[in-house]
Homo-oligomer: A and B are copies of this chain.
Amino acid sequence: MSDAHFARVALIGIGLVGSSLAHVLRRDKLAGEIVACARRPETLAAAERLGLADHVTHDPAVAATGADLVVISTPLSAYAEIARRIGPALKPGAIVTDVGSVKNAAIRDVAPSLPAGVHFVPGHPVAGTEHSGPEAGFAEMFHDRWCILTPLPDGDAGALDKMTRLWQSAGMKVVTMDAAHHDMVLAITSHLPHLIAYTIVGTATDLEDTLKSEVIKFSAGGFRDFTRIAASDPVMWRDVFLNNREAVLEMLQRFTEDLTALQRAIRWGEGEKLEDLFTRTRAIRRSIIEAKQA
């Protein structure tokens, strides 16, 4: 039996990440039984049909009862209510984790409702696609990607260790950091890129109708890469921006200053400034390829 084995796992939310994790749990036989919880009956039906869970329920408290591991993978705005409902149902020694993209907010919304003796390990597997829902999941999604755990200062070392091994089983490289630092790093690597992609795709949808059809036709020139990102789950991303407001606004401010400087260089025909920047950015791409994250 693997060290990362759990007798009963409750997956609260069974979208892209929840269902991918279910595939890993099945593949590696890491769960005695899996309970999936979702609000919408069609989501639960899909989870059953895909064999992602042994039981399904719309009630988080029912899912959490008797669970050794509870994984919250819903949009952030549902966290506080879920925590309130599972709190009284959790057994001593249970581990609660999540996969949300903002860690300070996860801690703020979940920790206060958990009883003593239950171990909370906030987590964020940095992996995904632009697709959503239980059909979108696949075990390999986590492979070779990073998982960031942001343990609480007084968190349980054994629980942290067990979560580390679970994500390692999924093929992830696991690192721990402070929640606030996580939120700042992700603001620039993930949240700001999504915000900008959503914006430019929105700008294009507001164009005159004749131009709009041509935008779709000629999207191969760069635009289509943004549309892929801007096809990500709307509710999940709404919650990310509302819950990582300060860090996103800080990074957005820096970006806007840099964009204004480039705008000025274009207006005044300062070719050297443009070429200098474009040469520097090429080097970053090389670093990402070397770090095998391309």
Q: Which residues of A contact B (CB under 8 A)?
A: 77, 101, 126-128, 130, 145-146, 148, 184-186, 188-207, 211, 214-232, 234-235, 237-239, 241-242, 245, 248-249, 251-252, 254-256, 258-259, 262-263, 266-267, 269, 271, 274-275, 277-288, 291, 293-294
Q: How far is the CA of A154 from the CA of B266 in the complex (A)?
A: 32
Question: Which are the 7 A-B pairs with shortest beta-carbon distances?
Answer: A190-B221, A234-B278, A193-B222, A231-B285, A230-B281, A201-B281, A189-B223
Given contact pairs A184-B211, A231-B282, A245-B269, a sample of 9 additional A-B residue pairs in the complex whose CB atoms are under 8 Å apart: A190-B223, A192-B200, A196-B200, A198-B281, A202-B258, A203-B251, A206-B254, A219-B288, A234-B274
CB-based contact A293/B245 at 8 Å: no
Q: How many copies does the complex hold?
A: 2
CB-based contact A218/B148 at 8 Å: yes
Main secondary structure of the interface of A (DSSP, over half): helix
Q: How far is the CA of A145 from the CA of B197 in the complex (A)?
A: 22
User: Which listed residue (B235, B274, B286, B293) contacts A237, Cβ 8 A?
Assistant: B274
Provide the residues of chain B in CB contact with A200, threshold 8 Å.
192-193, 196, 255
Taking CB as reference atom, which chain B residue is nearest A231? B285
Provide the residues of chain B in CB contact with A199, threshold 8 Å.
255, 258-259, 262
CB-based contact A293/B216 at 8 Å: yes
User: Which listed residue (B218, B262, B274, B278) contacts A189, Cβ 8 A?
Assistant: B218
Provide the residues of chain B in CB contact with A195, threshold 8 Å.
259, 262, 266
CB-based contact B189/A221 at 8 Å: yes
CB-based contact B145/A220 at 8 Å: yes
Looking at A221, A232, A249, A269, which has the most chain B CB atoms within 10 Å of its CB?
A221
Q: How far is the CA of A148 from the CA of B220 in the complex (A)?
A: 13
CB-based contact A229/B222 at 8 Å: yes
Q: How far is the CA of A263 from the CA of B206 in the complex (A)?
A: 18
Provide the residues of chain B in CB contact with A262, threshold 8 Å.
195, 198-199
CB-based contact A285/B227 at 8 Å: yes
CB-based contact A279/B218 at 8 Å: no
Provide the residues of chain B in CB contact with A282, threshold 8 Å.
230-231, 234
Q: Report 22 cross-chain contacts, Cβ distance below 8 Å, ordered by A residue.
A: A146-B217, A188-B207, A194-B222, A196-B259, A197-B281, A198-B277, A200-B255, A202-B277, A202-B281, A204-B284, A217-B293, A224-B294, A227-B285, A231-B281, A234-B279, A238-B275, A242-B269, A242-B274, A248-B266, A252-B259, A256-B259, A256-B263
CB-based contact B218/A242 at 8 Å: no
Q: How far is the CA of A28 from the CA of B225 in the complex (A)?
A: 31
User: Which listed residue (B77, B196, B216) contacts A196, Cβ 8 A?
Assistant: B196
